[in-house]
Amino acid sequence: MAVDAHKAQIKRHLSIHFGISFTKGITHTDVLNELKTLVDQNEIQTIQITEKECIVTVHDQNTKHTLLTRGINLKNRYIRMVDVEQQVTNVTNKDAPCEMSDVTICGHLSKFGDVVQGSLRRGLIKDTNIETGTRYVQLTNCIPIIPTATKFGRFSVRMFADNNRTECPYCTRTDHPSYRCTNKPSRQNQAARKCYRCNSTTHTIKDCPHSEKLCYRCGKEGHIQRDCQTDDQEMYGDYVHDIQEGRDANKNDSFTEDNNSEELIVELNKTTETVFEQTNATLPTSETVIFGASNCSRIRIEDPSINNIAVSGTTLDQIDKLVCQSDNIVNSDYVANVILSLGTNDISKHRSDTEQITANLTTCIDTLKTKYPNARIGICSILPRRGKGSSIQALNTAARSVNSFTQKLCVKSQVLKYIDLWDEFAPNKTPFRALFDLNDPSGVHISKSGIELMENIFEDFINSKCEGEYETPSKKRNRSSSSTPGSSEKQVTKMPKSC
């Protein structure tokens, strides 16, 4: 079987080299005569002279150490030798989003080599603390050729490495950067020869062999890179079709409150009623697990069958940590209800990148389905934020978009149930002030009344298992925006241990 040259790990621990640009006309005999003044001839394996350097390979480390420390004299000039391959390769990463964590960067780079712990640093503008977006990482045991372009998730980034591991795009050699390549075409010729259909520099568009637009990502005709779905299957798994459907819907019309129309709510209720009738009699379990962040951590439930696993600051991609905590409390085979109330911190972290949030959500749901096969899973909508600033409005717009995706996902599933918190906390499209902590400038945290309202909504979801139905909370409670929650809503009734 042929071995890919880019993946072949060729070890060159006994090779050293030096440049010959200032010693033109030297021969193998010249180099050998100088080497024999320092080491025995039998200890030299190879002397290789290329266009720009001379490479000497020896048989053992002692001989190599002697040549590295002492050097040689050629044509009345002292020459210092260095390792052909250094143990550490410095890699420069460009174009990665500044919001992408250092851990994520190191995780993607680990496929090219071993990341030196603590080596990652961020580029800064001189004499300031303002970042340039560039990351610098050190690798060991890396592959021979590091690509100049790759993808971190759905983001395209550029990479440049020293130690002769970056390939020139014009001649495929690694001993010089691309801007110094003698084969690099001039700017005029390159512009004149570029095809704007397939991006080739070997012909113009009139001579292009492709009759339709060509995707630069997968190389197939019929679509462009922006609409390519090649990486979607790997990123989103079984939910790729749902996500693509959401993308197509967003192209035709933006999200409005009309998305929560009567027809959609009626259809949602019919679907959930049918599912509950089918599953209610077959689930012998009685435990309930709540996964949430800071708002859920303030919920106080006396019922021992209801386990609240909430940690402040948790995001969707950290669901594994919460699941591990639940393993110490409850047997996953005896969990009948799972309530997931995460996403607010994801909005803060990813902001307008709703595709990344929905990708994390689908991964989180898969984790819960696998861990709790006998449970129905209630997915809470992301709560609105209190405030009128443009940044708050932008975050709320992103939250509504994710909620719309979540609701459509739940309608199509027999296991997932949509718990609508948005309409309860933002009647008439405006966050209800009495339900939010007015001392919180971020507008994220809810008040004591808001906590009690959330407890009641969770209680309705758990009790609906016994009743065989679950209605959207906003249809069960009608409250004007000018009134505070009633006493009946504030009172928290004891939740049932079993059904």
Which CATH number goes with the domain that contains 332?
3.40.50.1110
Query: What per-residue confidence (pLDDT) applies to 212?
Result: 75
Residue 191 has, within 13 A of its CA and on its CB side, a CA count of 2
Pair (397, 372) in one structural domain: yes
Looking at the DSSP bridge assignments, the partners of residue 378 are 339, 417
Mean pLDDT of all residues belonging to the chain: 77
Q: What is the largest CA-CA distance in the chain?
A: 99
Pair (244, 155) in one structural domain: no
Last residue of a domain, one of 83, 99, 134: 83
Residue 212 included in any domain: no
**Where residue 476 falls among pLDDT bands split at 50, 70, 90?**
very low
Amino acid symbol at 284: P
Q: What is the distance between the alpha carbons of residues 126 and 130, in angstroms, rounded to a whole number?
A: 9
Pair (281, 137) in one structural domain: no
CA distances (Å), origin 239, targets 120, 243, 249, 354, 366 = 34, 6, 16, 15, 10
Query: What per-residue confidence (pLDDT) applies to 148?
Result: 83
The torsion angle over the Cα atoms of residues 108, 109, 111 and 117, rounded to 10 degrees, is -110
CA distances (Å), origin 40, targets 33, 34, 255 = 11, 11, 79
**Where residue 111 falls among pLDDT bands split at 50, 70, 90?**
confident
**Where residue 269 falls among pLDDT bands split at 50, 70, 90?**
low
For the chain, count helices (H), then strands (E).
Answer: 16, 17
Query: What per-residue confidence (pLDDT) applies to 9?
Result: 56
**Where residue 312 falls among pLDDT bands split at 50, 70, 90?**
confident
Q: What is the pTM of this model?
A: 0.41
Asked if pLDDT for residue 479 goes beyond 60, the answer is no
Pair (104, 27) in one structural domain: no
Pair (263, 123) in one structural domain: no
Cα-to-chain-centroid distance, residue 469: 37
The DSSP secondary structure of 50-75, one letter per residue, reads -SSEEEEEESSHHHHHHHHHH-EEET
pLDDT digits (tens, 9 = 90+) for 382-415: 999 988 888 888 888 899 999 999 999 898 888 8
Pair (344, 424) in one structural domain: yes
Pair (79, 94) in one structural domain: no
Asked if pLDDT for residue 108 goes beyond 80, the answer is yes
In the numeric block, which tokens belong to residue 28?
């193998």
Residue 300 included in any domain: yes
The percent of residues in the chain predicted with pLDDT above 70, rounded, is: 76
Last residue of a domain, one of 83, 114, 130: 83
**Where residue 234 falls among pLDDT bands split at 50, 70, 90?**
low
Pair (167, 246) in one structural domain: no
SS3 340: strand
The DSSP secondary structure of 108-146, one letter per residue, reads HHTTTSEEPTT--EEEE-TTSS-EEEEEEEEEES--SSB
Average pLDDT rounded to a whole number, residues 159-177: 79
Average pLDDT rounded to a whole number, residues 421-444: 86
Residue 185 included in any domain: no
The Cβ of residue 383 has, within 10 Å, a number of other Cβ atoms equal to 28
Query: What per-residue confidence (pLDDT) applies to 285?
Result: 47
pLDDT digits (tens, 9 = 90+) for 191-223: 446 677 777 777 777 788 877 777 766 777 777
Residue 417 included in any domain: yes
Query: What per-residue confidence (pLDDT) applies to 228?
Result: 73
SS3 15: strand
Pair (282, 399) in one structural domain: yes
Domain tally for the chain? 3
The torsion angle over the Cα atoms of residues 180, 182, 187 and 189, rounded to 10 degrees, is -170
Q: Do 140 and 113 form a contact (C-beta atoms < 8 A)?
A: yes
In CATH, what number is assigned to the domain containing residue 141? Answer: 3.30.70.330
Asked if pLDDT for residue 265 goes beyond 70, the answer is no
Q: What is the distance between the alpha carbons of residues 379 and 343, in angstroms, rounded to a whole number?
A: 10
Asked if pLDDT for residue 499 goes beyond 80, the answer is no
Q: What is the distance between the alpha carbons of residues 206 and 190, in angstroms, rounded to a whole number?
A: 16
In the numeric block, which tokens belong to residue 391?
């940044």
User: Which of the two residues, 123 and 247, has the higher pLDDT score?
Assistant: 123
Amino acid symbol at 304: P
Q: Do 338 and 378 form a contact (C-beta atoms < 8 A)?
A: yes
Asked if pLDDT for residue 488 goes beyond 60, the answer is no
**What's the burial of 324, exposed, middle or buried (CB within 10 Å: 0-12/13-18/19+)?**
exposed
Phi, psi of 266 (to 5 degrees): -60, -45
Pair (268, 407) in one structural domain: yes
Residue 221 included in any domain: no
Pair (284, 410) in one structural domain: yes
Residue 197 included in any domain: no
pLDDT digits (tens, 9 = 90+) for 4-38: 444 455 677 788 888 887 777 888 998 899 899 88
Under DSSP, the state recorded for 7 is: T
In the numeric block, which tokens belong to residue 495?
């939740």
Residue 219 included in any domain: no
Pair (446, 324) in one structural domain: yes
Last residue of a domain, one of 40, 60, 83: 83
For residue 463, the enclosing domain spans 239-490
Residue 344 included in any domain: yes
In the numeric block, which tokens belong to residue 4?
């890919």
